Amino acid sequence: MYPSYMGTKLLELSINRKYRATSFIKRILVALIFTGITGICSKIRIYLPFTPVPVTGQVYAVLLSGLILGKEYGALSQLLYVLFGLMGVPWFVIGPVGPTAGYLIGFILAPWIIGLIREKSKTVTVKTTLLSLMSGIFVIYLFGTVHFSIYTQTKMLRSTLLAVLPFIPFDILKALFAALTANVLLRR
């Protein structure tokens, strides 16, 4: 009886390890897919005449990555997006060093914040989803505005007027669309 029990436990352990390895590989692949989705969304651009910062589709993909992948893999997907861009993949709007570079840092941290808030919530509700998304947008704005201010040598108030306020309605719509998309995808 004892050897049979040990054999069963070893088999279970082997299956669990194989499942975890397969699950890890799948998560990495999905993170890479979200890297590509962010790159594709970066090509959606609306230029505004009064600011060098365009409206882009990237924020939608960043928010969605936090909702779907959670904090670790969502942040990983955006870290890969930034790293691939630094290696020459042509998906940055202005470049990794221009006035919009701070947003790239925010892109990495936003999914982590979104995933963390959802992870800490006892249940996923509309309220916690919107709170997590608005927190993610805030992080993007924070890093984007600080870098914009430093890069353009403008005061924070002026930077906020140029790099945040015009984008709030667009980003609220992107957040709602990300929440709806995640709701559909996660129900399957």
Q: What are phi and psi of 62, to 5 degrees?
A: -65, -50
Report pLDDT for 156.
96
Quickly list DSSP for 62-105. Answer: HHHHHHHHHHHHHHHHHHHHHHHHHTT-S--SS-TTSTTHHHHH
Task: Tell me how many helices (H) and strands (E) the chain has.
Answer: 6, 2
Report pLDDT for 188.
65
Residue ranges, the chain, pLDDT below 50: 1-2, 10-11, 14-15
Burial class (CB in 10 A: 0-12, 13-18, 19+), 154: middle
Sequence spans of domains, the chain = 2-183
Decide if 53 contacts 154 (C-beta within 8 A): no
On whether the 2-183 domain is CATH 3.40.50.300, my answer is no
The Cα–Cα gap between 120 and 7 comes to 38
For 43-91, write each residue's pLDDT tens digit.
999 999 998 889 999 999 999 999 999 999 999 999 999 999 999 998 8
Report pLDDT for 10.
47
